[in-house]
Amino acid sequence: MKTVLITGASSGIGKETAFEYAKNNYNLVLVARRQDRLEAIKFEIENKYNVTVIVVAMDLSNSNSANELFKSISKQNLKIDVLINNAGFGQYGDFLNIDAHKDEEMLLLNMLTLTKLSRFFGSEMVKNGGGNIINIASTAAFQPVPGLATYSASKAYVMSFSEAIAYELKDKNVIVTSICPGATQSEFGNKADINKNVFRNKPTSTDLAKFIYTSMKKKRTNAIHGFMNVILAFSNRFAPRKLTTIIAAKMMK
Ligand SMILES: NC(=O)c1ccc[n+]([C@@H]2O[C@H](COP(=O)([O-])OP(=O)(O)OC[C@H]3O[C@@H](n4cnc5c(N)ncnc54)[C@H](OP(=O)(O)O)[C@@H]3O)[C@@H](O)[C@H]2O)c1
């Protein structure tokens, strides 16, 4: 039986992805800060599916957290077949006004921890003869987003980094997929203080979970969720950058 490690599994896309992989017969390692939430998800999944769930309560915005997580998994002799770097958050507001400490935590979590976990588990996957790394980027990766300047830049990093290592690792049977959700119903919008209208009638986290699983099965390198988001990402290539920045700023208001 294969094992998937999912970061940010206590709510939203990560939580629903845990259920999706359990349904598809994967054992799970679930990581986030809220241990009570993780324990409740473990209880529900183990009662519903014939899989084992390990929970790890950890703050992944510490620069050494990826090392600690990898060490703890290695100590337990667990082989991770699929790594899903999903934990992430944003903070809406003008760059000079947002909470600088929170912003630094966001940059560490969205980029550094994701990078280090990809390195640690990627190396193990190469030794084991293969595996999958799935990094959750965003449609915010395709253009600058005023009001989410550092968040959108962090997601551009995730997408570019993932595509580059996908190329490097493909001959080693490690498939790297970057997923670009558009606005999705989860706790994200509330926490980021983004206008609720942005998320009205948008896909659910369950929709995203299914998309993540099928994108992995199809060995996609970069998978954008939703037809309109695919069109927007494609048209961004031809529109002047100044214009896409103005449009993104207006869409966030
Ligand atoms: N929802 C959207 O519209 C949208 C669009 C594009 C991309 N995304 C991306 O999708 C991913 C999942 O977000 P979501 O929409 O599912 O939001 P969410 O419901 O807020 O889930 C975020 C998850 O990340 C975890 N997390 C946050 N900070 C953490 C930390 N310091 N250490 C460990 N875990 C942490 C949270 O758990 P704890 O609080 O328990 O730690 C939670 O499980 C993120 O990378 C986000 O950027 C979301």
pLDDT in tens, the chain (253 residues): 999 999 999 999 999 999 999 999 999 999 999 999 999 999 999 999 999 999 999 999 999 999 999 999 999 999 999 999 999 999 999 999 999 999 999 999 999 999 999 999 999 999 999 999 999 999 999 999 999 999 999 999 999 999 999 999 999 999 999 999 999 999 999 999 998 889 999 999 999 999 999 999 999 999 999 999 999 999 988 999 999 999 999 888 7
Ligand 1 geometric centre to CA of 188 (Å): 6
The CA–CA distances, whole Å, from 73 to 23, 98, 121, 241 equal 23, 35, 10, 43
Mutate to test the pocket of ligand 1, among 41, 86, 111, 152 (most ligand atoms within 8 A of CB): 86
Which residue is closest in CA terms to ligand 1's atom 1? Answer: 184
Residue 188 CB–ligand 1 contact under 6 Å: yes
Q: Which residues pair with 30 in a beta bridge?
A: 6, 55
**Three-state SS for 9?**
coil
* CATH for 3-252, options being 3.20.20.70, 3.40.50.720, 3.30.70.1280, 3.40.800.20: 3.40.50.720
Tell me the two tokens of residue 193: 């203080």
- Give residues with Cβ within 8 angstroms of 199, minimum separation 6: 183, 184, 185, 189
Ligand 1 geometric centre to CA of 239 (Å): 30
For the beta carbon of residue 198, count every other beta carbon within 10 angstroms.
15
Give the whole-angstrom CA distance, residue 45 versus residue 103. 33
Tell me the two tokens of residue 155: 């997601």
Give the whole-angstrom CA distance, residue 84 versus residue 79. 14
Pairing mode, strands 82-85 and 53-57? unpaired
Residue 88 CB–ligand 1 contact under 6 Å: yes
Residue 226 CB–ligand 1 contact under 6 Å: no
Domain boundaries defined on the chain: 3-252
Ligand 1 geometric centre to CA of 199 (Å): 15
pTM of the model: 0.98
Give the whole-angstrom CA distance, residue 127 versus residue 109. 26
